[in-house]
Structure 1
Amino acid sequence: MMKKTASALAVAALMGTGAASAATFQVNDDTTLSLYGNVQIAYSDTNDASGDSVSDLQDNGTTIGVAVEHRFDNGLTGFARIEEDGYDAVEQAAETAATDQAYFGVRGDFGMVRLGNADSIYDGFVRDYWDYQEFLAPINGRRGVDHKDRQLLYMSPNFGGFSFGLEAQINGDADEATFELTQGGVNNGDNETGDVNGDDAGISLAAAAMYETGGLTVSAAIDQRSNEFVSAADAGSEGGPNHFDDPVMGIVVSYDFGRFTVDGGYQLDAADTDERAIGDVDVLSLGGRFNYGMGDLYGIVQEVGYDEENAAGNDSFTEVILGANYNIGSNFYVYAEYATYDQEEDANDGFAIGGLYSF
């Protein structure tokens, strides 16, 4: 099953219409209920930090979800979704399921408003362009915020190919305290627990825009990420501020030739050295996907640069990931991937094979 282009996936997911479901039930004239999911299993053989080969047969993100839509008399459409991720298709006793997405919202001629836990707008407009691999995804080059919860999102309608979105990620004092206790956040004494960069816990803003014409798509986003904690590992032994005080931003230019798509982009993950020892991270990316009829051939090359050397004395890397998939059926495909990350001792280099069955 060939994946959609990144721009199509981004808009569909953010608008709350991105679930590929095999079972859709018409509850009544105005309400539909969809059940969907997938089973993913992969075998990998990659190097550890010492360069030793480590093999593993593992689940790769098995998911089950429920989505509902209801058309109101005023012309608006309400929607909601709950998606559980992390079911383990390999280990019977594993208990890894967790809520991946859960939200509700309303859309109409004005656009869409959504509240809950879902992929960030930066993901949809920039980061997901470099996420069409199945298992061996970019490591250093996949920048952006990891938080997905407490999001309020507005997406505009399409104005002749142009669309935009605004997002607020909302933290309260209780959320700050929970992170300090469970996630290893830094509290260096300058900020009380519950403060964001010295201010009361609050709102982190993000914005994105996209223009599409013919096969060309230009997409850009910026995330303030002022609610994202500095980890103890990033801050180092001297500590640092509780939160990042610099944004992450990126731009992507993509062209769809039909059976062949090319994506090029640049990302800047800004950070002072007291927030992260390596400082700013620059990422220049070039990727492509070719549909050969029964599947896709795909690959990505990323040049990653740090302001300061890391613990191993390096400040730049070249990541290369190549892959191919083959469609057994419309909802079932297998794949093989190879990756090299230009790390000391060839860490993380290796290959993976696997399959995905969706329903």
Structure 2
Amino acid sequence: MKKTLLATAIAGAMAASGAQAATVYNQDGTKLDVYGNIQLAVYSTKGANGEYDTELTDNGTTFGFAAEHVIYDGLTGYMKLEIDDIQADEMATGPRQSGGDTAFIGMKGNFGDVKIGSYDDLFDDWIQDPVTNNEGFDVSDSTSYSGIGGSIQTDQLTYVSPSFSGVELAIGTQFKGDAEAENVSGDEGDENASIFGGAKYTVGNFSVAAMYDNLDNYEVTAAGVANNQEFGDRYGITGQYQWESLRVALKLERFDSDVGDVDSTNFYGLGARYGYGHGDIYGAYQYVDVGAEDFSDTVADAADGDFPNENNDETYNQVIVGATYNISDAMYTWAEAAFYDKAEDEGDGVGVGVTYMF
């Protein structure tokens, strides 16, 4: 489940509904906003044994600060700090945990936008989120399938160029030093910097983005010791179009595995979201092709009438449907259902929740 609502869906909902973050200071070119939300949800999901498990849980409650100031005309410095893992469902009885979700500083101006810190990686923003960035359930992707997860969001430096006739270029790196616990080897002199980059083209209501990430900070380990086997690479291309209240997105994504016991996987996703006036109705379908050599492998087999690819280890048809309803400018409810096409319907489930935000 993704819990990055504040940076994406909540920001959009606030803009659409008129809800505003609280500006606590705005003077002499410096502005400070305080914002947050409480999210609670009930999920009922199937485990590997085919039995449903139900829980009332925090769904990503967040408290944050955003600031910016004008350095000089045409150049602005900014920062954002978000605290999550607040565990709104356990505040009275359990340990009060808090952790960082987002923390970065940056500068933007006529040269573009550069930032450093911990935040959603650009592959997530440009490739994965347009298809599904829902309240609770999402289709799988190269991040979740590879097992890297949220760790890919840390220690990043990203530059995005200004738009040149609709074209934006991006390049970035994730750095892991030998003193960092998350460095796969931790040996002296084993600092490493990965690289990711891409391009995005926007014309009117249509946009298309393509990205590459070499995942170079991730290596296979055995008994806690790195064996220098590279994790692999990931690629993606996503196009989306907006018709007034309807947005449709199409994604082709690949995790190109170098790990012996992890298959390379292609993800073919289609998502749509429609704003009906009091909320959104949305859904997504994704075909997951495990073991395909590359994108052309599945396309070639389809041309031969062998679709799904009969040579693959596994294929899945994933479906997510959901809807939101705005109770007020600052409060909304939602409901979702997910079907992942696994043995014993593992992972399938339904969820309902409520969010209050400011």
Match of 1:5 in 2: none
Which letter maps to 1:265? K
Match of 2:131 in 1: 130
CA 1:140/1:221 → structure 2, altered by over 3 Å: closer, same or farther? closer
CA–CA separation in structure 1 for the residues paired with 2:259 and 2:129: 27
Match of 2:295 in 1: none
Q: 1:67 touches 1:81 (CA, 8 Å); kept in 2? A: yes
Match of 1:3 in 2: none
* Pairing 1:194–2:194 present: no
Q: 1:44 touches 1:353 (CA, 8 Å); kept in 2? A: yes
Aligned equivalent of 1:158, options 146, 158, 163: 163
Match of 1:52 in 2: 51
For residues 229-248 of structure 1, the aligned pairs below 5 Å read: 229-230=219-220, 241-242=227-228, 244-248=230-234
Tell me the CA shift for residue 74 of structure 1: 5.0
Deviations 1:23-48 (A, max 9, x none): 01334221000001111100011111
Q: 1:172 touches 1:194 (CA, 8 Å); kept in 2? A: no
* Pairing 1:115–2:99 present: no
CA–CA separation in structure 2 for the residues paired with 1:350 and 1:320: 11
Q: What is the DSSP-based 3-state SS (H/G/I as helix, E as strand, rest coil) of the residue aligned with 1:123?
A: helix
* Pairing 1:172–2:173 present: no
CA–CA separation in structure 2 for the residues paired with 1:204 and 1:305: 26
CA 1:141/1:316 → structure 2, altered by over 3 Å: closer, same or farther? farther
CA–CA separation in structure 2 for the residues paired with 1:231 and 1:207: 26
Q: What is the DSSP-based 3-state SS (H/G/I as helix, E as strand, rest coil) of the residue aligned with 1:305?
A: strand
Q: 2:283 touches 2:322 (CA, 8 Å); kept in 1? A: yes
Tell me the CA shift for residue 120 of structure 1: 1.0
Q: What TM-score comes out, normalization by structure 1 length?
A: 0.82
Aligned equivalent of 2:211, options 221, 224, 228: 221
CA RMSD of aligned residues (A): 2.6
Tell me the CA shift for residue 158 of structure 1: 1.5
Which letter maps to 1:47? K
Deviations 1:153-193 (A, max 9, x none): 11111122211211111111112xx237xxxx6xxxxxx64
CA–CA separation in structure 1 for the residues paired with 2:95 and 2:178: 33
Aligned equivalent of 2:254, options 251, 261, 268: 268
Q: 1:117 touches 1:150 (CA, 8 Å); kept in 2? A: yes
Match of 1:70 in 2: 69
CA–CA separation in structure 2 for the residues paired with 1:193 and 1:129: 36
Tell me the CA shift for residue 358 of structure 1: 1.2
Q: 1:21 touches 1:37 (CA, 8 Å); kept in 2? A: no
Deviations 1:93-149 (A, max 9, x none): 233321111111111110111111111111111122233211112235665753111
Tell me the CA shift for residue 289 of structure 1: 0.8
Q: What is the DSSP-based 3-state SS (H/G/I as helix, E as strand, rest coil) of the residue aligned with 1:46?
A: strand
Which letter maps to 2:25? Q
| Residue identity (%) | 34
- Name whichever structure is richer in strand by fraction: 2
Structure 1 spans left out of the alignment, 5+ residues: 1-7, 14-19, 186-191
For residues 284-299 of structure 1, the aligned pairs below 5 Å read: 284-299=268-283
Tell me the CA shift for residue 273 of structure 1: 4.0
Q: 1:325 touches 1:334 (CA, 8 Å); kept in 2? A: yes
Which letter maps to 1:62? T
Structure 2 spans left out of the alignment, 5+ residues: 1-6, 13-18, 293-311
Q: 1:21 touches 1:35 (CA, 8 Å); kept in 2? A: no
Paired residue total: 319
Which letter maps to 1:298? Y
